Amino acid sequence: MQDSAVKRFGILTSGGDCPGLNAAIRGVCRTAMDEYGMQAIGIEEGYRGLIEGRAHELGRDAFAGILTRGGTILGTSREKPFKMTEVDPETGRTAVESIKYNYKQWGLDALVILGGNGTNSTGALLAREGLNVIGLPKTIDNDIAETEITFGFHTAVSVATEAIDRLHTTAHSHSRIMIIEVMGHKAGWLGLYAGIAGGGDVILLPEIPYNIDPIAKHIKQRKEDGHPFSIVVVAEGALSKEEALLEKKELKKRRAEMPYSIAYRVAKELESATGLESRVTVLGYLQRGGTPVPYDRVLATQFGTYAAHMLAKGDFSKLVALQNGVPVGVPLEKIAGKIKRVPLDHPLLMSAREVGTCFGD
């Protein structure tokens, strides 16, 4: 056994579940146990369990067979402890005070958090409160700053691409516009990758506000060229040029008042502008479920083992990120509150345009 700065650590998964979480848990805990003799405490349901004091020790048998499982063996939640300022009448503590209390009661030397932007932003705040924190980047949106890729993303791309592939046959058979809505509220990485891989004729992303007229023109031209069907891939956060001019609060209000998701609005707009029949498929949570693809299993394992070595060195207040193809530790403060959006000059955007993809701009 090698010497370690950490003897006992807690591990939790927070935010939306995604494929690869279990592989990452396995990577962290098995390395920490086998290489350094650490004890791992599994915290249940993310920050909620950390607040409520629900956790259990993880033995080696806990990791058997979980590499290929989707979801998370620890459970998850979307608690935001720093916004929970009320005092619990039973404990007499706020959420953050309870976190610090349980961290101490469990005898933890560090906390490993697996999650997306919100999870790791909370981790940065907990580090300010004096906790030793290491974060891992999990999200199908691939929108965490300072890392080239997040685990869970490639599995979601695979699921979305397969769905697009299947819609091609129906679109061709019925000469329809088939519109598929994928996740991506603030960043369009999933829509971009799946749209290109699936041969989307139109891809609408949050980063590129759309005008329905050039989209309708593109689809009409396809019909004139002998292609009476079209595939339109829409990220859930896509917005029109008019919406892009609105203040954030006004846009949020308008979206909340919409009786349907963005794909249905685009379908109505295109039917009106082209006279062609449209059908909508919203993938929703299908993109987050199922078995992780090999790439995500490998990446999550790599992130997990690297996090274990960081624990042993006492290299805290950092996120494990992938830069230039290798894992590195990036200060949590550098990623907190930031979104990695698709740059308008990204090579993939250029490639998509060059093969005839319309982005509605």
At 132, list the tokens: 């030793």
How far apart are alpha carbons 208 and 162 in whole angstroms?
24
CB burial class (10 A; 0-12, 13-18, 19+) of residue 252?
exposed
At 29, list the tokens: 């805990």
Q: Say whether 141 is catalytic.
A: yes
Catalytic residue among 17, 141, 143, 296: 141
Are the beta carbons of 25 and 66 closer than 8 angstroms? yes
End-to-end CA distance of the chain: 58
Sequence-distant (≥ 6) Cβ neighbours of residue 139 within 8 angstroms = 15, 16, 18, 115, 116, 117, 150, 152, 153
Amino acid sitting at position 139: T
Question: By three-state DSSP, how is residue 151 classified?
Answer: strand
How far apart are alpha carbons 205 and 199 in whole angstroms?
15
Q: Which of 263, 257, 259 is nearest to 184 (CA)?
A: 263
Give the single-character DSSP code of 210.
B
Amino acid sitting at position 331: P
Amino acid sitting at position 119: T
Are the beta carbons of 52 and 4 closer than 8 angstroms? no
User: Helix 21-36 crosses helix 294-313 at what angle (to 10 degrees)?
Assistant: 40
Task: Give one word for 267, left, alpha or beta, with left for phi > 0 and alpha for psi -120 to 50.
Answer: alpha
Active site residues: 141
